[in-house]
A and B are shown apart, each in its own frame.
Chain A
Amino acid sequence: MKLSREQVEHIAELARLALSEEEKALYQEQLSAILEYFERLQELNTEAIPPTATVLPLRSGMRADEPKPPFPREDILANAPAAEEGCFEVPPVLE
């Protein structure tokens, strides 16, 4: 499975990763080699096999719906790169 440069750029766009030209070339080569190694999975007949998403038995946990104090707003905003008026600040979405 050989990835094209366009595929690498498409994946990076989906993952919201800005990549340099060198990184694109490197990942094109490395991811292609990794995917080629993974081809061995296709040997396995898994037609009648259900997928495993978690090893735990499926169950719904219920607990009493009791209100508890949330984290103080200032504690949470203390970690924000930019905050204003008690909110996270981001670049303008609309000009």
Chain B
Amino acid sequence: MKPHQLTIHEARDRLTAGELTAVELTEAVMERILAVDNDVKAYLTLTPEEALDQARAIDARRAAGEDGPLLGIPLAIKDVLCTKGVPTTCGSRILEGFIPPYDATAVARLKAAGVVLLGKTNVDEFAMGSSTENSAFFTTHNPWDLSRVPGGSSGGSAAAVAADECLGALGTDTGGSVRQPASLCGVVGLKPAYGRVSRYGLIAFASSLDQIGVLAKDVTDAAIILEAIAGHDPRDSTSMDAPVPDYVSGLKAGDGLAGVRVGVPQEYFIEGMQPEVEAAVRAAVDVLAGLGAQVQEVSLPHTDYALPVYYLIAPSEASANLARYDGVRYGLRVEDGGGPNEMFKATRGQGFGPEVKRRIMLGTYALSAGYYDAYYLKAQKARTLIKSDFDAAFEQVDVIVAPTSPTTAFRIEEKTDDPLQMYLCDVFTLSMNLAGIGGLSLPCGFDANSLPIGLQIMGPAFGEEQVLRVAYAYEQATEWHTRRPEL
């Protein structure tokens, strides 16, 4: 096996044993990027020189006896997270030329753990989308079938992991943007609970929903990265001051899945979903039962309302968050000879792409005088009902399993003409963000076109440990995660 094909924990073993250096590993991954990224287009920015400098410094630290699970591991960062001195675009023209003067806390924590940063990955503009087709720069291609989308909005990160163009990556998940691309690219996508990871330096989309997550080749790697980035940060008042468990040791806790209660929500098996997805998820549930889990049906009765609730709350928050792009302090400015108001309008009209403008319009409308009660407030009340569904379900079960996406990867341009069809891609992932809970997607099969299918495992708030434990047990009992696309 070549170095770029290794998982993080496999690479760490070789680095620790002295069989591999961080420079060799970084060079192997960079060669891989050069070989395949013209086709995959996962990266917006590459920082090869900085990466090799970091790798050399880490080899010196390793030679001096230092060790650590991420020391010398090359990772990629979704381009909505601020990286000091490295352009950060959010996939948007409006942030043209923006070079952050600081690192996001999650990025700083990875650097402190000795990670080698390879570059920034493609995104739907401001993380709004399910295919990376909303990136202002280009569309990322699914490594399993280059004519298909990788999912989104963390599609660059998911494709980079699937194509062995990094050993793991950070993504962000506001309504499914880590889990859905993980599902479509056949990798693990972990979205921690709201409050688990500091969002300082994450460029805001919808502040009550945004969360930083992990794209990884297997469950162990996801646990390693989460452990490095989780925990309270005085710079983010929404990061909870809760102890961070030892996620990696927790993977092997217990005797198989004996005594673990697994809930299957009937509302997540809907008309119109791809039959192969339903079959693969039901088969995965049987595997969990075979490992000793007690499987039972649960009900999340307000699931049907999650889509309108999300697409009112998220655009409303976005319309406020994106008000800061006015051509004054950073990024693009378009002047048409008028005063500041004309400059704001021209800058925003030219700088934002179609989907971002659509959502700003939708959110502005939902918050505007006369419509606030009927739309925004109504959505917030319905959000309470969606959250209560999960609270009630988690009194009966430890985790809930469901499909991640109703279909496997769709074709590029298949859904670009109808925004509502694109929104429906997130129908199984939105509720988790509304409820603030954590969970992940991991591979559970392939369809007739050899495209990966994702299994979603959801846990109660701050219950990432039990989610990871169930995912790890499933992964050990199956071999889906070992398959890689041919490129």
Contact = CB atoms under 8 A, between A and B. Distances in A.
Nearest to B352: A17
B308 A38 contact: yes
Given A11-B368, A80-B330, A27 B381 contact: no
A71 B101 contact: yes
A54 B238 contact: yes
Contacts of A41: 305, 308-309, 312, 378-379, 382
Nearest to B330: A79
Q: How large is the interface on A (under 10, 10 to 19, 20 to 34, 35 or more residues)?
A: 35 or more
Contacts of B341: 16
A71 B361 contact: no
Interface in A15-67: 15-19, 23, 26-27, 30-31, 33-35, 37-38, 40-42, 44, 46, 49-56, 61, 63
Interface string A59-95: 0010100000001000110111110000010111100
A88 B364 contact: no
A61 B352 CA distance: 35
B208 A55 contact: yes
Contact of A31 (B194, B312, B358): B358
A46 B360 CA distance: 26
A40 B304 contact: yes
A37 B382 contact: no
A17 B332 CA distance: 14
Given A16-B326, A49-B381, A61-B237, A40 B305 contact: yes
B368 A46 contact: no
A82 B423 CA distance: 38
Contacts of A27: 357-358, 361
Contacts of A63: 234
B348 interface: yes
Nearest to A30: B419
Interface stretch (B54-62, B139-147, B285-293, B383-391): B383-391
A34 B362 contact: yes
A90 B343 contact: yes
Interface in B341-385: 341-346, 348-350, 352, 354, 357-358, 360-362, 364-365, 368, 374-375, 377-385
Given A18-B348, A46-B381, A56-B240, 20 more contacts: A8-B361, A11-B368, A12-B361, A15-B364, A19-B357, A23-B354, A31-B361, A31-B362, A33-B420, A34-B419, A37-B307, A41-B308, A44-B378, A49-B381, A51-B381, A55-B387, A63-B234, A81-B327, A81-B333, A88-B329
Interface of A: 3, 7-8, 11-12, 14-19, 23, 26-27, 30-31, 33-35, 37-38, 40-42, 44, 46, 49-56, 61, 63, 71, 75-76, 78-82, 88, 90-93
15 contacts: A14-B368, A34-B420, A34-B423, A38-B311, A41-B305, A44-B378, A46-B385, A52-B381, A55-B195, A55-B461, A56-B240, A80-B330, A81-B330, A81-B331, A91-B338
